[in-house]
Amino acid sequence: MLTQLEEWLNLTKEVPLDPLLPICDPHHHLWDYPDSLPENLVRESARPTRHYLVEHFLKDAAASHNIVETVFIQCGSKYKKDGPKELQPVGETEFVESITSRSCSKQFRNITVAAGIVGFADLTLGSCVARVLEAHLTVSNRFRGIRFTTAWDGISNKNAPSLFSSLKFKEGFAQLRKYNLSFDAWLYFFQLPSLLNLARAFPDTTIILDHIGGPFDIGSKTTKIEDVIIKWRNEISKLSTCPNVVVKLGGLGMPISGFNWHERTPPINSLELAEAIAPYYLYCIEKFGANRCMFESNFPVDKWSCSYTVLWNTFKRIVNGFSPEERASLFHDTAARIYRLPY
């Protein structure tokens, strides 16, 4: 039975463009939240459903483009409920390892789901976070890094603005290089200066900027979107000077982005969507280069705005005139290299 969201998405159907192009989707989630979770909490957290497991992802992806492998990204599901608090996030890695282990042998419709796994570890633990990183690595040999969400809107997550500059955080961050792990950063455009300082302080640690650094009007109803874009472009330009930073091109389908595509009927098509988001993604590619950029689905969060097929059609339209080598980097090779996946 189709959900109400899927029925709405089916109002705009497309066939995949360039269907043989190999794709690594470097940013999607898998979660399983209890049915007892209040509906308002599900919606407020931008989750379109309580359950998004391998079968749900495959329903979105397998009948669409040539997805060959993916990277699971931390979303706070299935943390342990007992034991030391700092080790509870390891439960998420155990969960993903258990439900995707079959995909490593190409049994999931030729898609290696979660070829790489990115979880969470509290870097404010300082050097003691090594114990947590080792636990993740023990659970899965596909563990590739952590995501530390510091997106701060001026109201919630009050410690976020100064987090990257704290001595304990830096002490914990230094452990990533020791274990050959990367760092996924999710924050908003006005927090990018702090990430720039972090990238310069740890040039040997790979930093992946999620969702192009959130060029959204967050926490202020007076800021003009034009001013947001100017500030975002300026910070992206500075950040691109750090060779250890790469960018994920995606995330603008989240309702928080302010485009309100989730309110349209029928849903937006790839031609119109490409026209709307191309300036953002092309600017990142201009500054970072194709070998430091990767398209991401951010599913199922971006599923609020369009289907999986429409989303990847959009990306393909945006870089239609690029060389085969550049397209290979943007759709597969950058992600596979950064997350150390088999080509």
Distances (CA, A) of 100 to 113, 119, 297: 6, 15, 18
* Whole-number pLDDT of residue 45: 53
pLDDT tens for each residue of 251-270: 999 998 889 999 999 999 99
Predicted confidence band of residue 16 (pLDDT cuts 50, 70, 90): very high
Residue type, 121: A
Predicted confidence band of residue 280 (pLDDT cuts 50, 70, 90): very high
Predicted confidence band of residue 150 (pLDDT cuts 50, 70, 90): confident
CA distance 150 to 159: 9
* Whole-number pLDDT of residue 33: 81
Predicted confidence band of residue 245 (pLDDT cuts 50, 70, 90): very high
Q: Is 49 exposed, middle or buried (0-12, 13-18, 19+ CB in 10 A)?
A: middle
* Whole-number pLDDT of residue 225: 78
CA distance 89 to 77: 8
Cβ contact 140:97 at 8 Å: yes
* Whole-number pLDDT of residue 35: 65
| Residue ranges per structural domain of the chain | 22-338
CA distance 148 to 74: 9
* Whole-number pLDDT of residue 264: 94
CA distance 104 to 296: 20
What is the token pair recorded at 167? 């001595």
- What's the length of the chain? 343
User: pLDDT averaged over the chain?
Assistant: 90
pLDDT at 103 over 70: no
Least confident of 10-14, 35-39, 134-138, 208-212: 35-39
CA distance 83 to 28: 28
Instruction: Give 20 or 225, the one with higher predicted confidence.
Output: 20
Cβ contact 184:208 at 8 Å: yes
Predicted confidence band of residue 318 (pLDDT cuts 50, 70, 90): very high
For range 263-291, the mean pLDDT: 97
Least confident of 46-50, 76-80, 166-170: 46-50
* Whole-number pLDDT of residue 149: 84
Please give the distance of CA 277 from its chain centroid, rounded to a whole number.
17
Using DSSP bridges, classify how beta strands 182-186 and 207-209 pair: parallel, antiparallel or unpaired.
parallel
Least confident of 79-88, 106-115, 136-145: 106-115
What are 245's strand-pairing partners? 207
For range 329-335, the mean pLDDT: 98
Predicted confidence band of residue 105 (pLDDT cuts 50, 70, 90): very low
Measured distance between the N- and C-terminal CA atoms of the chain, rounded to whole angstroms: 36
* Whole-number pLDDT of residue 101: 84
Of these ranges, 35-44, 60-69, 300-309, the one predicted with the greatest mean pLDDT is 300-309
Which run of H or of E encompasses 247? strand 245-249
Which run of H or of E encompasses 184? strand 182-186
* Whole-number pLDDT of residue 40: 53
pLDDT at 155 over 50: no
* Residues whose CB falls within 8 Å of the CB of residue 289, separated by 6 or more in sequence, listed in order: none
CA distance 159 to 330: 34
Cβ atoms within 10 Å of 181's Cβ, excluding its own: 21
**Angle between the N-to-C axes of helices 225-239 and 192-201, in degrees from 0 to 180, rounded to the nearest 10:** 0
pLDDT tens for each residue of 48-68: 778 899 999 999 998 789 999
Count of alpha carbons within 13 angstroms of residue 154, beta-carbon side: 7
Query: 22-338 sits in which CATH class?
Result: alpha beta
pLDDT at 42 over 80: no
**pLDDT above 70 as % of the chain:** 88
Cβ contact 14:58 at 8 Å: no
* Whole-number pLDDT of residue 227: 87
